[in-house]
Structure 1
Amino acid sequence: MSGLILAAESGPGLNLEGQNLVLVAVVAGVALLALLFAGYLVREVLSASQGTEKMQSIATAVQEGAAAYLKRQFRTLAIFVVVIPLLLLLLPAEDWPVRIGRSLFFVVGAGFSALTGFIGMWLAVRGNVRVAAAARSDGEKAAMRIAFRTGGVAGMFTVGLGLFGAAVVVLVYTGNAPVVLEGFGFGAALVAMFMRVGGGIFTKAADVGADLVGKVEQGIPEDDPRNPATIADNVGDNVGDCAGMAADLFESYAVVLVAALILGSAAFGTYGLVFPLIVPMIGVITAVIGIYAVSPRAGDRTGMSAINRGFFVSAVVSAVLVVGAAFWYLPASFEELGVDTDGSAGMLIGDPRVFAVGAVLIGLVLAAAIQLLTGYFTETNRRPVKEIGESSETGAATVILSGISVGLESAVYSALLIGGAVFGAFLLGTGGSITLALFAVALAGTGLLTTVGVIVSMDTFGPVADNAQGIAEMSGDVEGAGAQALTNLDAVGNTTKAITKGIAIATAVLAATALFGAFRTAVEGSLADQVGDAAGTFNLGIDQPDVLVGLMVGAAVVFLFSGLAIMAVGRAAGRVVLEVRKQFRLKPGIMDGTEKPDYGPVVDICTRDSLRELITPGLLAVLTPIAVGFLLGFNPLGGFLAGAIAAGTLMAVFLANSGGAWDNAKKLVEDGHHGGKGSEAHAATVIGDTVGDPFKDTAGPAINPLLKVMNLVALLIAPTAVAYHQSAVGYAIAAVAIAVLVGVIIWSKRQGGGIASQQAAEPDATEKVATT
């Protein structure tokens, strides 16, 4: 806010006119073209055959359930979208038009995030039946084409809306754009976190409940129409993995842009306000190329080979175009930029063009490395998943132990890769200001996001393939080669979902690191505005006990957040298990096909529980930075953010990769290894998969928006925390935040109840709780 404005004004000037104005307008135009291309893909997908009447009726049930859930979720989130902009008006800014703009674009960011998730889900629940129909009539290649084009719509909406929103803010607010962008990024991140948590609880409650009763207790296939939880499971794939993850990746895109523009304007002046928009504009072009490059060939080992080809083609083209854009647009020396580098002779990179290209290439290389590393730990033909499959022959316990070890090990390598990228980008600014070095980190994030169109396509591909297989199995109309093609695509989809989660985590860390730099700038700017020794200094030395406490609290919040999300899935899944058991007990004809299950109650349980349970993790993310900042001060708040970033990186990768590995180990056994379907090894991998479900699809991916929400809240309150630290007002604000947090956590636990109390409330509930 005032600190960022001060930083921008003390650096190179912000003068958006002439060529720069035209360039930003072109960026906005390209963003709109991305939306038009998304419309073209929608037309292509919807023109495909929908298969048999039975397949269409199943797809319609999934469509209705997903639409009903999102409608209720958006009504719940509307409260926050109304209240928070009013609170943002109270925070300091240069003038009232800027305050109003920040609040207005909070609503825009929230709306764009919700729209991206909704559009991704809307087409996914229509593309799934078309993928199943294509596999039935035309084979795996045609099915994969439709599935990836379906995902491409969500990808193009992500890049189109994110880039358009940022470009409009820059066009309208110019020098004050960094302040207004804080609201845009905060709105996108907050809604994405709620959608990610809520959708994750819904999908995994249904999935766990369906697997435990259907597969383990009744011995029926995963998508057997006799299972009352089957429709809810398919609905959950869309509201969680499509709507939730699309919103998550949109906010990653938006927040990285926000961080790059904030730091860029402070470091490079107008050049820093325009170049971070040029890089993702290139990403729009390469996303189109990458989507068309995903076309299976005869020599491909699996469908993953085609997806990898599309991703790497997109990355290489992006790298070439970014080099050209940097050498065309940026000046040849920092002196021409007016940047104070504290003596350019000490700069590791003396040419701003090379500096920018190096930072962007680091991001591109990181995306490729994360893709390969995550694929190694989660693909069915790789050693880690094979070892988990082998462990299934000795029971569920060894499956769980193997999966945990894979997740823990992969987290180390991923953290080292991400940390190396952050440090490498930071080194590019050696000899210059800290703001310049952090701008390099933000540019690395924009480099990574030049591939986001393909990344979102990969992510949505997963649930579309999963749903297609479910529709095929429930209808019984796809057999032989078509059924095998859908099984193959589903396994590929598990890997693509794991990869996109890994890349989303890397993006979150780069964005959080850049936002941390913006927080530091805001604090130092606010301190400079104050007079006297009472203002204090910004110091994150852990030899200060309060900073060390902040560091530990930040790490602890990640663990508490993960625990709340996993427990929420456990409670909701328990209710699903009881409902499914009750239906099998009261309707014995379900198993022989003489009676039909009632799918509605399970959908209602998942909807009600997920919307209730998402409130507590959401308030935890918003209120903990406020409590720490006003109770302990701005230095401990900086330590808090550092602890959250470190713990969040490791925890998110661990949860995502262990869950993905368990899921594909189950697929490995179902393909005939270690006894195949119905064997004891299969039951063991099903248990492993149910443990991994809330890991990889609820808690793990929700950590990404958690980190960015907490950093953005800290950034927004930084000047106020400086002004009121160690004061009665500050302590009062902290006390209210802590009281609300304690209250919602207690409320959440009381709402949950236990399996025993739920069984007691059931009429004639005499079943024994499954030891599984």
Structure 2
Amino acid sequence: MSRLHLAQSTWAQGLELSGGDYGVVAVVAVVALAALAVGYFLLREVLAAGQGSSKMQEIAVAVQEGATAYLSRQFRTLGVFVALVFLLLFALPAEDANERIGRSLFFVIGAAFSAAIGYLGMWLSTRANLRVAAAAGEPGGREKATRIAFRTGGVVGMTTIGLGLLGAAVVVMVYAGQAPKVLEGFGFGAALLAMFMRVGGGIFTKAADVGADLVGKVEQNIPEDDPRNAATIADNVGDNVGDCAGMAADLFESYAVTLVAALILGTAAFGTHGLLFPLIVPAIGVLTAVVGVYTTKARQGENGLRAINRAFYLSAAISAVLSVIAAFVYLPSTFAELTGGENTTEGNPALIAAAAVLIGIVLAGVILWLTGRFTGTEHRPVRDVGRSSRTGAATVILSGISVGFESAVYTALVIGAAVYGAFLLSGSITVALFAVALAGTGLLTTVGVIVAMDTFGPVSDNAQGIAEMAGDSDPEAARILTDLDAVGNTTKAITKGIAIATAVLAATALFGSYTDAIQTALAGIAGVVTFDLSGFLVFNPGLLVGLVIGAAVVFMFSGLAVNAVSRAAGAVVMEVRSQFRNNPGIMDGTVRPQYGRVVDICTKDSLRELATPGLLAVFAPIAVGFGLGVGPLAGYLAGAIGAGTLMAVFLANSGGAWDNAKKLVEDGHHGGKGSDAHAATVIGDTVGDPFKDTAGPAINPLLKVMNLVAVLIAPAVVTLSVGDGASPVARALIALASVTIIVVAVVISKRRSTAIGEEAPEETRDPANTTA
């Protein structure tokens, strides 16, 4: 029977930091605080911009109130869940009380940071959208609007990297050698809350968007953001709670979890140097993010996407140069210098680290180019989708699906090449996995700009909506905002592609953490000193079953998210139809729609739908781990990563292609607004909405949540599987309880009414007529 010893390297045991090491961590913490300071100055700049007409301000206030009300209710709901998980984490095995307390405490801190960044993204975007709309109507409007929208994202980006780096630095400073285990809790808290915010916000925004489009554009033949449509305020609220709050939290957890994987494996591979170098690389990213944000300036008449891409590539190039210098300055040239003894591993640690970081930076650039190719309005894939609108909605949907499938293949191959390229940098499995994690930290150097790119999208979309609802923007300003919205669709798709790349890199690296957790648990059991690999062989039926289950969970999760949007959107459609039918004065402008009723529907439905996907993500790996063992659980993670990568990219890019094909038609191609081709692309866009903004982005935190759950439960699975503490009955009961929870949640979810075909109630509470 094949066995392999995967314990941590000897110098990682009982790791202690020297005075110089603490100095490095302190510098990193100062850099993190500097990032927060830069974010504050960007915030002041954004808020100092003009706010437009009183009508624009009135609409913006309604959006602000609706978004704040939704997130407040969501956080109250999630607070109970966080408290329960805190207690479960406290009950899991740990080396000592210090580790157990730290892991649970920083789980709460990670969740709180994720929530704070999500709230900041919502709060600022609901104020910046107004300012972007106003700037578009001023002299030099394109350049001003682009700058305000991007620097709004810069605030969120600097806060994301500042809090992520600060949290990791504080943990390392306080817990030293135990930092990797404590950081598992930090990353898990960030990932879990981000997943919930992504799912809930995605359901809210796409239910409102789909409902508004189907009734407004298709049935009533009125513009997307026409104030006569009762779903318009909810649609604008959704952009902020889904795209801004949800994605900001998502990218923060990507940042945190990638750091967790790098620090865990770095400690095992390079000792103290491996614990600190993964902090140095993203600290460099803080400096280059500042360069990227401040150099994003659209030249006269220049497309906004070109300006954003130029700043991204500039910041990535600077990161690459500085990271290579840092690797050769900080890391020694031989492993003997790391261990203080024999040169037990071949290779140059500095060269390995530099090459790995470069792989991650190049990966970000390639994904940016590749995603832009498949979702940009100037490229053939989107133009082909637009041309297909001349023959109806069916061909639009088919062409968009084909774009998504094709782009998923290329993106998966690029990510796979990066992972394998990093893995080949060393013959040692531990060092090779650390190289994969370092590729992730290399990608992290671009996160500040990536978050800015992502926030740019919904802010531009909202700005266009506010201007259209206010009805007082000139044609040139409207054209500028339409162009910025199309650019935002592409930047959002790009950030989703990069986010899934971080998920794959982090998840692959966490395999090393997973096996290390198993080995450490085995080492504590008398008579067991090696790790049985037979359950990890690909032809083992248990592993294959786990792999299939892992892939199936991705499909189930995606189906639940899309179905939740379908149900909520059905309720919105019936409500908006009812208002048009029962209040004829809405169409002629003499009666104001009851916006608050739609906001309330979206709020209630999205919060109600949160539980099932979340329970599936947490309890599915628990069921597999305790029910089938650690080998099948590894297969489960592999299946989830493989299927999740392809599914996430397919959903994001097909949705982005449909959305921008609609923009092409609305710009006058193939008959323009009001034509049959326009109606066909609207249908395609409504199909793509839950793809690109609900199910697709939520897969990213899903993968991280499931991987971290596996790492956290691995010691408990081992303890109940071998030695004196083995208890097949206890394992079976835990697995059965987990399966029962999942089944009950899914059954309850499936029994909910679709609301399609049911009339909206005649009397519904509408306290403010503008908010929930």
The aligned residue for residue 611 of structure 2 is 615
Cα contact 2:11–2:271 (8 A) shared by 1: no
Cα contact 1:535–1:722 (8 A) shared by 2: no
Shift of 1:6: 6.0
Cα contact 2:570–2:754 (8 A) shared by 1: no
Q: Report SS of the residue matched to 2:592.
A: coil
What is the CA–CA distance in structure 2 between the aligned matches of 1:15 and 1:299, rounded to whole Å?
A: 57
The aligned residue for residue 188 of structure 1 is 190
The aligned residue for residue 769 of structure 1 is none
RMSD: 1.8
What is the CA–CA distance in structure 2 between the aligned matches of 1:341 and 1:400, rounded to whole Å?
A: 61
Map 1:570-649 to 2 at 5 A. 570-649=566-645
Q: Report SS of the residue matched to 2:377.
A: coil
Q: Deviations over 1:583-615 (max 9, x none)?
A: 001101100111110000000000000001011
What is the CA–CA distance in structure 2 between the aligned matches of 1:501 and 1:340, rounded to whole Å?
A: 44
Map 1:183-332 to 2 at 5 A. 183-298=185-300, 300=302, 302-332=303-333
What is the CA–CA distance in structure 1 between the aligned matches of 2:699 and 2:715, rounded to whole Å?
A: 26
The aligned residue for residue 158 of structure 1 is 160
Q: Deviations over 1:433-463 (max 9, x none)?
A: x111100000000000100000000000000
Cα contact 1:12–1:268 (8 A) shared by 2: no
The aligned residue for residue 123 of structure 1 is 124
The aligned residue for residue 179 of structure 1 is 181
**Structure 1 residue identity aligned to 2:532:** T
Shift of 1:535: 8.7
What is the CA–CA distance in structure 1 between the aligned matches of 2:606 and 2:480, rounded to whole Å?
A: 33
- TM-aligned CA distance change 1:380 to 1:339, over 3 Å: farther
Q: Report SS of the residue matched to 2:91.
A: coil
Shift of 1:540: 1.5
**Structure 2 residue identity aligned to 1:603:** V
Cα contact 2:336–2:344 (8 A) shared by 1: no
Cα contact 2:211–2:570 (8 A) shared by 1: yes
Shift of 1:741: 0.7
The aligned residue for residue 79 of structure 2 is 78
What is the CA–CA distance in structure 1 between the aligned matches of 2:68 and 2:100, rounded to whole Å?
A: 35
Cα contact 1:4–1:178 (8 A) shared by 2: no
The aligned residue for residue 410 of structure 1 is 407
The aligned residue for residue 50 of structure 1 is 51
Residue among 401, 410, 417 paired with 1:420: 417
The aligned residue for residue 767 of structure 1 is none
Q: Report SS of the residue matched to 1:186.
A: helix
Residue among 534, 539, 543 paired with 2:539: 543
- TM-aligned CA distance change 1:753 to 1:399, over 3 Å: closer
Q: Deviations over 1:711-740 (max 9, x none)?
A: 000000001011113611111111111111
The aligned residue for residue 41 of structure 2 is 40
Residue among 668, 672, 688 paired with 2:664: 668
Q: Report SS of the residue matched to 1:7.
A: coil
Shift of 1:636: 0.4
Map 1:450-489 to 2 at 5 A. 450-489=445-484
Cα contact 1:12–1:337 (8 A) shared by 2: no
- TM-aligned CA distance change 1:362 to 1:94, over 3 Å: same
**Structure 1 residue identity aligned to 2:748:** W
The aligned residue for residue 447 of structure 1 is 442
What is the CA–CA distance in structure 2 between the aligned matches of 1:557 and 1:443, rounded to whole Å?
A: 28
**Structure 2 residue identity aligned to 1:209:** G
What is the CA–CA distance in structure 1 between the aligned matches of 2:586 and 2:760, rounded to whole Å?
A: 24
Shift of 1:12: 7.0
- TM-aligned CA distance change 1:760 to 1:53, over 3 Å: closer
Shift of 1:761: 6.8
What is the CA–CA distance in structure 2 between the aligned matches of 1:141 and 1:509, rounded to whole Å?
A: 36
Cα contact 2:5–2:530 (8 A) shared by 1: no
The aligned residue for residue 524 of structure 1 is 519
Cα contact 1:38–1:157 (8 A) shared by 2: yes
Cα contact 2:336–2:343 (8 A) shared by 1: no
Shift of 1:5: 12
What is the CA–CA distance in structure 1 between the aligned matches of 2:531 and 2:477, rounded to whole Å?
A: 68
What is the CA–CA distance in structure 1 between the aligned matches of 2:289 and 2:348, rounded to whole Å?
A: 29
The aligned residue for residue 759 of structure 1 is 759
The aligned residue for residue 741 of structure 2 is 740
**Structure 1 residue identity aligned to 2:212:** A
Map 1:64-75 to 2 at 5 A. 64-75=65-76
Pairing 1:132–2:133 present = yes
Which stretches in structure 2 are left out of the alignment for 5+ residues? 722-726, 764-772
- TM-aligned CA distance change 1:732 to 1:592, over 3 Å: same
Shift of 1:536: 6.8
Cα contact 2:562–2:695 (8 A) shared by 1: yes
Cα contact 1:5–1:176 (8 A) shared by 2: no
Cα contact 1:366–1:417 (8 A) shared by 2: yes
The aligned residue for residue 706 of structure 1 is 702
**Structure 1 residue identity aligned to 2:653:** N
Cα contact 1:12–1:338 (8 A) shared by 2: no
The aligned residue for residue 393 of structure 2 is 396
Q: Deviations over 1:394-450 (max 9, x none)?
A: 000000000000000000000000000000000001x22x11110000000000010
Matched residues, percent identical?
69
What is the CA–CA distance in structure 2 between the aligned matches of 1:355 and 1:396, rounded to whole Å?
A: 51
Residue among 355, 366, 373 paired with 2:370: 373
**Structure 2 residue identity aligned to 1:161:** L
The aligned residue for residue 360 of structure 2 is 363
Cα contact 2:12–2:177 (8 A) shared by 1: no
The aligned residue for residue 508 of structure 1 is 503
Q: Deviations over 1:106-136 (max 9, x none)?
A: 0000000000111111110000000010001
**Structure 2 residue identity aligned to 1:441:** V
What is the CA–CA distance in structure 2 between the aligned matches of 1:619 and 1:290, rounded to whole Å?
A: 39
- TM-aligned CA distance change 1:247 to 1:496, over 3 Å: same
Cα contact 1:5–1:179 (8 A) shared by 2: no
Shift of 1:560: 0.1
